[in-house]
Amino acid sequence: MKEKPKIRKRDYNLEFIRMVSFLFVIAIHVTNYFCRAYGEISAGEYYFSLVLDTVARVSVPCFFMITGALLLGREEPFEKHVRRLLRFVVALVVWSIVYYLWNTFYMKTPYDLGDILYVPTEPHLWYLYAMIPIYLVIPFLQVMCRFMGIKLEYAFLAVISVTTIFNYVSSLVHEEAYYALPLIGDKVYMYYVFIGYYIYRYRKHIRLGQRTAFLIFAANMAAVFGITAGMTVQTGEHCEKVLEYGCPFIAAGSAAFFLWAIRFKKCRFEPEGRLKSWIDRICSCSFGIYLIHILFLDNYKKYMEPGDFTAWAAIPLLIGTIAAASYVSVFLIRKCSWGRQIT
């Protein structure tokens, strides 16, 4: 008779990161709207937008790192992998249809369905395009991570780090490697999955204090802000190259933030009462919030230009309003069984 699998206790340090990250993703999309209006808004409004945009950039890497922390090195039934993969495929199909109809008939931005395999119907759906291939190979990567010794882990970490830096530097001169490194490819997302796994596994053994980790995060984000602001002023238009997730500053800052947050309260963040209940509710809706929030932001963009309302007030109001509206919408959608399947 087979033993029942042990129920894994929820790690609220990871849930804390998840909750912060979904709010930061909304912040990225809101601040982008104002940052890209450089020259149309005041310098103060632009720098305010850019500061928030820069800090929030840790969110997407953190989502990938959470995946690595939770899945790599584990042993799971193959059927569970299939269900996880199908959930993402179903979500991609449904939300691609939603945004195709939304953009075609409401936003009046035409989309060629012939491009569906290569271009999302809405830009933020790129995350699903990235996660589906990752989930396809997760079962094999789990086996690999379970049986790598400490020396192989160090060697692998060094190889993928150098490769990630090489890929980014190559992109600066508009070149790419003739053949991408297997397991990593030419994108940075799989790198974050591995980094999340390593940080989470060795979180209590990494010889880096909490203050130092936070300072590394702050220093790298400051570098991203400074370089972006300088290049923007020099070129006369908002520059996003250093804000890309493949940028070594973003990678180092995100890893440091993840390490700091995973060791928050000495790795034992245990909320109680209403706080715990709210974290559970919000985190259960986080995926759906990511998928739906663009509908509310698009409504603002449709009727308001960046210069119509000061960014100092518009950005915090939009982030709060969109987050609340998205949460309520997803909470209601998830009341139905089909709603839970797509969020």
| Tokens standing for residue 63 | 């989502």
Positive or negative, the Cα torsion across 194, 84, 26, 112?
Answer: positive
The pLDDT tens digits of the residues spanning 79-116 come to 999 999 999 999 999 999 999 999 999 999 989 989 99
Asked if residue 37 lies in contact with residue 307, where contact means CB atoms within 8 angstroms, the answer is: yes
The pLDDT tens digits of the residues spanning 153-187 come to 999 999 999 999 999 999 999 898 888 888 888 88
The pTM of this model reads 0.95
Identify the pLDDT of residue 1.
Answer: 37
**Average pLDDT of the chain?**
94
The pLDDT tens digits of the residues spanning 285-306 come to 999 999 999 999 999 999 999 9
The pLDDT tens digits of the residues spanning 182-209 come to 888 888 999 999 999 999 999 999 999 9
Mean pLDDT of 261-286: 94
Alpha-carbon distance of 284 to 343, in angstroms, equals 9
What's the Rg (C-alpha) of the chain?
Answer: 20
- Give the containing element (helix H, strand E) for 108: none
DSSP 121: S
Q: Which residues make Cβ contacts (< 8 Å) with residue 334, sequence separation at least 6?
A: 284, 285, 288, 340, 343
* pLDDT at residue 308 greater than cutoff 90: yes
Alpha-carbon distance of 12 to 262, in angstroms, equals 9
DSSP 76: -
Identify the pLDDT of residue 7.
Answer: 45
Asked if residue 58 lies in contact with residue 253, where contact means CB atoms within 8 angstroms, the answer is: yes
* pLDDT at residue 11 greater than cutoff 70: yes
Mean pLDDT of 234-245: 97
